Amino acid sequence: MSTAICWMRRDLRLHDHAALFHALSNHESVQLVFCFDPHILNKLSDKSDLRVSFILQSLQDIEAEVIKKGASLKVLFGLPEDEIVSFAQSLKAQAVYCNRDYEPYAKKRDSLVEKKLKNVGIEFFQYKDSVVFEKTEVLNGSGAVYKVFTPYKNKWLEKLAAQDNHLPDFKISLKNLREFKNPESVLSVDWHAKIGFTPTHPLLAGGTHEAMKRLKKFMPAMPQYAEARNIPALDGTSNLSPYIRHGCLSVRDMVRAGLSQKNEGATVWLSEVVWRDFYHMILDTHPYVEKESFKRDYDKIQWLGKKEWFEAWCEGRTGFPLVDAAMRCLNQTGLMHNRLRMVTASFLCKTLLIDWRWGEKYFAEKLLDFDLAANNGGWQWSSSTGCDAQPYFRIFNPYSQSEKFDSEGIFIREFIPELSHLSATDIHCPPPLLAPDYYAPIVSYEKMRGEALKMYSVIKN
């Protein structure tokens, strides 16, 4: 009997799954596998990290489905180049299938796994799955990758339209999934303890069933998305980003949702999908951005901020209400509204004059939807060091951003209760006498704006 492994990573679903489709199409028996990688887990300093529970919930969702087919999901713990190869050999598998991952570590890991599998006579197949267009599929007129988003988006949409907006839909039949006796099922064993973590309860529960419910709920609100997505106090976003990051939904699910409506909200929604592809393309083709500025000259900047300012930013005690509310929300829930990501990032880099890499690392530790490509791209955009970033002299004013996007102070009140008694006017810049339990601003915005312009002026733009 022809046997294969489908190695699941950031694609935790059983529908519209490229690698699983091809494995099931080419083999009589397929075993699903997930491997907890200590190289990744060891970077998580908080042993109650919300993402571990979200992933385990997603795996439990999968296991509950495949059990109905008399099959199972095998979970491993250890270096993939050892565990995947060893398990494939134990099953006498002919091949291992997976979907491509574009992060630098993942590419090195997969290359090593492929080499070791080849050494023992097992084939290794990878497929495009987490993006619509990858690598060099969207090129400019000179045959080079784009470095500016808008022309990239236009070409991306043009390519999609040339396919009559047709996306592959990998129809999955689970009848060939392997029946495998699994004494360490994620439904019966405390995998948190096995890998050294503590169970948590993410605000957004993991799994495809939960993701589909959220997508269905969001569809009637999509027409208002263009405006509502900027207001953190409104439930105007889909809250689907963790599900996309971990693959509980496919990127094609998202595109189909956007194409199903003809309104401004759907257009903006689809544009967000294109941004995601753009940042993955940049990381894949310019892997140095993981640690360096895309615009290399910007690594010459001498960041002038203080460590104590960074600590105040992390803990939500800068004295700037919208910034502090956003950071407290992140720390408590692992979530942050996209508008607030821009506000807090601009504030750290251009008001506190702190290296974008510090903020990027902190977000990487806290975000439930952390994705290296998107996180790196967003931080480099906000700090003006990246690909098609905002110009260095565009500096978000935290007070005006607060007045515009949280005009009644609803979001601020939710996360800064010590300001809940203030009026909608005072809450954005609290008078000290009216807010004795809140922090005084750690810096002057106006003064630091001038310092930021001087700091950036050493770079030729």
What integer pLDDT is reported at residue 183 of this predicted model?
Answer: 67
Judgement on whether residues 148 and 117 belong to the same structural domain of the protein: no
CA neighbours closer than 13 Å in the CB half-sphere of residue 356: 28
DSSP character string of 30-88: EEEEEEE-HHHHTT---TT-HHHHHHHHHHHHHHHHHHTTT--EEEEES-HHHHHHHHH
Separation of alpha carbons 26 and 57, rounded Å: 29
18 SS3 class? helix
Judgement on whether residues 230 and 373 belong to the same structural domain of the protein: no
What CATH number did the domain enclosing 248 receive?
1.25.40.80
- Tell me whether residue 177 is in a domain: no
Judgement on whether residues 162 and 228 belong to the same structural domain of the protein: yes
Separation of alpha carbons 282 and 294, rounded Å: 9
Judgement on whether residues 16 and 135 belong to the same structural domain of the protein: no
What integer pLDDT is reported at residue 460 of this predicted model?
Answer: 60
Specify whether 156 is catalytic: no
What integer pLDDT is reported at residue 287 of this predicted model?
Answer: 97
Judgement on whether residues 238 and 272 belong to the same structural domain of the protein: yes
pLDDT tens for 32-74 read 999 999 999 999 999 999 999 999 999 999 999 999 988 999 9
Judgement on whether residues 367 and 249 belong to the same structural domain of the protein: no
Q: Read off φ and ψ for residue 297, nearest 5 degrees.
A: -60, -25
146: buried, middle or exposed (CB in 10 Å: 19+, 13-18, 0-12)? buried
What integer pLDDT is reported at residue 296 of this predicted model?
Answer: 93
Judgement on whether residues 47 and 102 belong to the same structural domain of the protein: yes
Q: Residues 290, 338, 365, 403: which is the catalytic one?
A: 338
69: buried, middle or exposed (CB in 10 Å: 19+, 13-18, 0-12)? middle
What integer pLDDT is reported at residue 193 of this predicted model?
Answer: 95
Judgement on whether residues 419 and 306 belong to the same structural domain of the protein: yes
Specify whether 272 is catalytic: yes
Give, in degrees to the nearest 5, the angle at Cα 414 between 409 and 417: 95
Judgement on whether residues 51 and 162 belong to the same structural domain of the protein: no
What CATH number did the domain enclosing 37 receive?
3.40.50.620
- Tell me whether residue 360 is in a domain: yes
Judgement on whether residues 43 and 80 belong to the same structural domain of the protein: yes
Q: Residues 134, 272, 290, 414: which is the catalytic one?
A: 272
pLDDT tens for 224-254 read 999 989 999 887 788 999 999 999 999 999 9
Task: Domain count for the chain, please give it.
Answer: 3
Specify whether 338 is catalytic: yes
Structural domain of residue 361, as residue ranges?
296-456
- Tell me whether residue 183 is in a domain: no
Residue ending a domain, among 238, 256, 285, is: 285
Residue ending a domain, among 285, 306, 327, is: 285
Task: Describe the strand order of the beta sheet including 95-99 as a list of residue ranges.
Answer: 73-77, 29-36, 3-8, 95-99, 123-127
Please name which of 61, 24, 90, 10 lies closest in space to residue 185, comparing C-alpha atoms: 61
Separation of alpha carbons 187 and 5, rounded Å: 21
What integer pLDDT is reported at residue 236 of this predicted model?
Answer: 74
Residue ending a domain, among 285, 316, 333, is: 285
Separation of alpha carbons 127 and 97, rounded Å: 8
Q: Residues 156, 313, 356, 358: which is the catalytic one?
A: 356
Q: Residues 26, 123, 264, 275: which is the catalytic one?
A: 275
Specify whether 303 is catalytic: yes
Low-confidence residues of the chain: pLDDT under 50: 461
Judgement on whether residues 281 and 303 belong to the same structural domain of the protein: no
- Tell me whether residue 404 is in a domain: yes
Q: Residues 134, 264, 303, 365: which is the catalytic one?
A: 303
What CATH number did the domain enclosing 370 receive?
1.10.579.10
